[in-house]
Structure 1
């Protein structure tokens, strides 16, 4: 007889304990053990317990383990969450089997030894069979569903609680999320605001809504939101830094002339265009969109064009706004020299358009929905033992459940965006469809996107500065891991699972649109490195950039109105403070929107920062060292950014690596 020393690590999370009998079977190249009961009356959360499994002879090299949990006849069935199982063989070899999932049924679950294997590395029939069975089950568990024609596919589910256990929120995350949502709405209901459909009588009344929930930056926004420099600053370092681009030639539908605008120091618009000091924000994606009807009142959503000028002191300032795409007598070009409320009203219409473009395109589609497509394809097509699964699975945490919640509570028929914003159900889907067709691969890769928008040398563009540094660090890490497993282009081409993964993403994530530039297959190692970096960046950093500041910039509603209830002025000199207040959303629409951005800006206590890997999916020395190096580089960058921020009037914190969540989890 020979003995195997089996050490079981149970996860230190709520409800991970089990009182049900757990059995294990060891499977090796030369045989398998009997199904052996792990003799514990209770396996407690956080426990590390060692057992002995005896066999008549050596099993050879261990390939996999089988775990099952059966209900004892008088005890309730429960769920168990093992982190990993380590096995020491009679030959003194140690094998590690990553698990990191809930076992809640009585089925047999197979887990592979932790060394990463590509499909053509599988020489053992047992390993091949386990790989096929795992992907067969995952294809059933993670099926595609068409959310709306022309929009990236989602996971097929009948609500968040029908998702597989392994991708659902932890008890901690679920409890904190529900508590934050409930307390925010309860406070508003106690104040009698959620049903109040009256207009605001003055702006100061808005300050009473979340008086105890303000942040230093939301206070700053309240104080400075009317100022031109702050309006322009938000295009660089607010929550929508991906729209602005350098403008060398004015669009034909934006007929701004030299004599319209004032340029300091005796220059003029034509000269500043030639010198590269003019920038454009074009909301053409919203052109022709029919706005929602909210509480029986027709709403208004414009598709503005905004011209910005970089002054000699490096300040960016707005110099012209046209609220509709087609020039006309009833579509004036508003200027800073117009009356106070003409200019302020024009900026409010721009900020309301920015709310819709940001929420639906930059935030929902380009981070949440794409991250979901990446996650579903990963879970369907790559087994746990695949090196790309091990690399990318940390960046899928909670994404499927938060998106299921969003489809119900935000963009569903009764969702907050559907009911209380300018973009109702059909309008919302129309914008998403239009946005989907405009996605390009280059726009998802920050170095390419910055170059294509010609934003490389714009001063004080901290999203660019921090994002490019993180991309470089991330690229180096991904490159190290992938080049460890793929030594040549031919190995990438031979990996049929890898090719199926990217093909699935191209079809269901990007709707088989070749003009997007998304790869349909991988032919080289550099292609695989760049695409994997993009997936990781989109699912962590890009989401942080467009999500984390939502309450900072949207908590003070006039800075980012979710809808507007009066049409824009068709001629100058017709606005006043009274018309502005009548244009802004009514009280209950305001507070619903503020409650939403408050909820979506709250980190949970089980937040996992970028570069942290609490789950040991990699067991080999080189990728584990690369993970440590990645974290160390990100820690250095956090210090550098924090030191820079000390000298800034408005610190840019959203891409401090320690503030970036590893996945789209909120």
Structure 2
């Protein structure tokens, strides 16, 4: 008689347990066991519990291949899904094998689990496992299908509602409750105050500070107090929510005729525009890709979108200062160059219109498309291409955990006819065109932070904490990915032979980058190092980059004068004609302002089931080597977190968004 010892763990989340009968069958190379009821004295399969069970067989089953688990009703009790985390089987030969599941199981459902070492397709040597792998992928390809949301935009998943998603990739009930509660409480406060839906205009800048009673952060209050200051304006292009747009300027664009006389008063004494460019102290914001996109209508009239240019200088105090702004691409008498020496509200309005364009670019391109939508492409391609036993699935899945849920839920909330972004100066149609233009110009190197920083000439600009923290995180992630990938792919030939890996990158190339070969994106993998680089980019983008462009949204964007998606009046075309009354009339009205503020609170809040970068509560790897690699990865992240915390303690404006402890392990909000 042979005995197989089973340790079965139920998930710890709400409602994870079940009262139903659970059966198990073990399949080996020699035999299969009897269908065995897992039943101990008392209540089995309680939330967060691990139960021990024994399966007895007359002989050893040989090498274990599969574990089949079935759920059957108990008496006449109503259905209660079971969250099955994992099973650990100890064989008569003393082999200890992990069988990860981490999914919900319904009544009458059969789940077959693979255990042991992560396996690539060409390594399979048993017909049962080859068939199981093939059938798993056929099922997943039929479940996860592609859909075209709009021409020229990355493709999306085919689910129309989150209720259609498989339970294991949906939000937990507790996270949903958290989000819904936060949304409800925010709405109630704004209704009680009479702000929600109000078409009134703000009577004073100070009134905007009263939107929320308690929803304040140290940084959001700092922004409200310092938003008009030029040095803080420049700081935001380095360490605000859109740190990926300015570039070093060694030669002024021909359509931006800034002269020496214009800017000399704002440069270091004795210096000149040419000298500052030669020293690497000049930087440019240029929103030319927005030029010509028709704006949205407001009260029947078209709004105004400024595809402007802003010139910055790093001054002797190492502050990035705006020194010249042109609000449209083509210079003319009605498109003057604004300077810090102009009347205060003229300069203020010019800065606001540049930030308006930057806000729309941030939300649609750098936040939605370059993190959320690309993360969805990486996820759907992985779900279609990799069986759960594949090493790349085990490595990548934790970084896609809730992406399909938040994207499926969020798309109509943001981009639907009544979505929040429909209230922007470009409207949803214009923002979609902006995304389309950006994707057509996007390059592989622009998604890889070291190359991105070098291409923009930002290697030495001072106090650029996004760069400093981001590059360290890129290297930590790359070191971890390199160790794991090289463990499973010891040679380039292994990469060539892995058809599932090739399917993944092919689907990403086709559905994410729309087959744009000129942009440098790989359509296939030829070397181990190509896999390492691309996987590093994927994990960085779904964790670090998303944190950089998402986590500070309430801090920087809830204060409408600092970052307005909508500006209602046209930009100034002559100098000396504006006042603070003009500024208030230009800002969104009360209802529009609070709607954006409420959205940024929801996007920046932290919810139940928050999983920091490098934390893997789901145990998927069974081998000691990747487990050790994860520990080393976590240790490096911890060291960096301590260093960032120490640095921030000395800063007037702490940069916390890329502290590993503050970065979520997947795009989840």
Taking the aligned partners of 2:297 and 2:461, their CA distance within structure 1 comes to 40
Task: Report the counterpart of residue 242 of structure 1 in structure 2.
Answer: 244
Task: Report the counterpart of residue 7 of structure 1 in structure 2.
Answer: 7
Taking the aligned partners of 1:554 and 1:272, their CA distance within structure 2 comes to 32
The answer (yes or no) to whether the contact 1:301–1:563 under 8 Å persists in 2 is no
Check 1:307–1:259 CA distance in 2 against 1; reply closer, same or farther (3 A cut): same
The normalised TM-score by structure 2 is 0.98
Deviates further, 158-167 or 364-373: 158-167
2:454 aligned with 1:451, yes or no?
yes
2:418 aligned with 1:417, yes or no?
no
Task: Report the counterpart of residue 207 of structure 2 in structure 1.
Answer: 205
Task: Report the counterpart of residue 333 of structure 2 in structure 1.
Answer: 329
The correspondence for 2:606, drawn from 600, 603, 625, is 603
The correspondence for 2:433, drawn from 430, 434, 439, is 430
Q: Deviations over 1:472-492 (max 9, x none)?
A: 111100000011111100110
Taking the aligned partners of 2:153 and 2:519, their CA distance within structure 1 comes to 14
Task: Report the counterpart of residue 464 of structure 1 in structure 2.
Answer: 467
Task: Report the counterpart of residue 160 of structure 2 in structure 1.
Answer: 158
- Determine helix, strand or coil for the equivalent of 1:557: coil
The correspondence for 1:395, drawn from 396, 399, 410, is 399
- Offset, 1:320: 0.4
- Offset, 1:556: 1.2
Task: Report the counterpart of residue 177 of structure 2 in structure 1.
Answer: 175
The normalised TM-score by structure 1 is 0.98
Task: Report the counterpart of residue 281 of structure 2 in structure 1.
Answer: 277
- Offset, 1:431: 1.4
- Determine helix, strand or coil for the equivalent of 1:264: coil
Aligned length: 665
- Offset, 1:297: 5.4
Check 1:295–1:166 CA distance in 2 against 1; reply closer, same or farther (3 A cut): farther
Task: Report the counterpart of residue 260 of structure 1 in structure 2.
Answer: 262
- Offset, 1:295: 5.3
Task: Report the counterpart of residue 224 of structure 2 in structure 1.
Answer: 222
- Offset, 1:293: 2.4
Deviates further, 401-410 or 541-550: 401-410
- Determine helix, strand or coil for the equivalent of 1:643: helix
- Determine helix, strand or coil for the equivalent of 1:619: coil
Q: Deviations over 1:24-60 (max 9, x none)?
A: 1111111211222212554211111011111221111
- Offset, 1:423: 2.9
The correspondence for 1:99, drawn from 98, 101, 110, is 101
The answer (yes or no) to whether the contact 1:300–1:563 under 8 Å persists in 2 is no
The answer (yes or no) to whether the contact 2:247–2:457 under 8 Å persists in 1 is yes
Task: Report the counterpart of residue 318 of structure 1 in structure 2.
Answer: 322
Question: Structure 1 regions of 5+ residues with no counterpart?
Answer: none
Q: Deviations over 1:513-537 (max 9, x none)?
A: 1122110000000000000000000
The answer (yes or no) to whether the contact 2:44–2:51 under 8 Å persists in 1 is no
- Offset, 1:151: 0.3
- Offset, 1:238: 0.5
2:628 aligned with 1:625, yes or no?
yes
Task: Report the counterpart of residue 81 of structure 1 in structure 2.
Answer: 83
The correspondence for 1:305, drawn from 289, 309, 334, is 309
- Offset, 1:544: 0.2
RMSD: 1.1
Task: Report the counterpart of residue 67 of structure 2 in structure 1.
Answer: 65
Taking the aligned partners of 2:250 and 2:607, their CA distance within structure 1 comes to 45
- Offset, 1:105: 4.5
- Offset, 1:108: 1.6
The correspondence for 2:580, drawn from 574, 577, 582, is 577
Task: Report the counterpart of residue 348 of structure 2 in structure 1.
Answer: 344
The correspondence for 1:591, drawn from 591, 594, 604, is 594
2:191 aligned with 1:189, yes or no?
yes
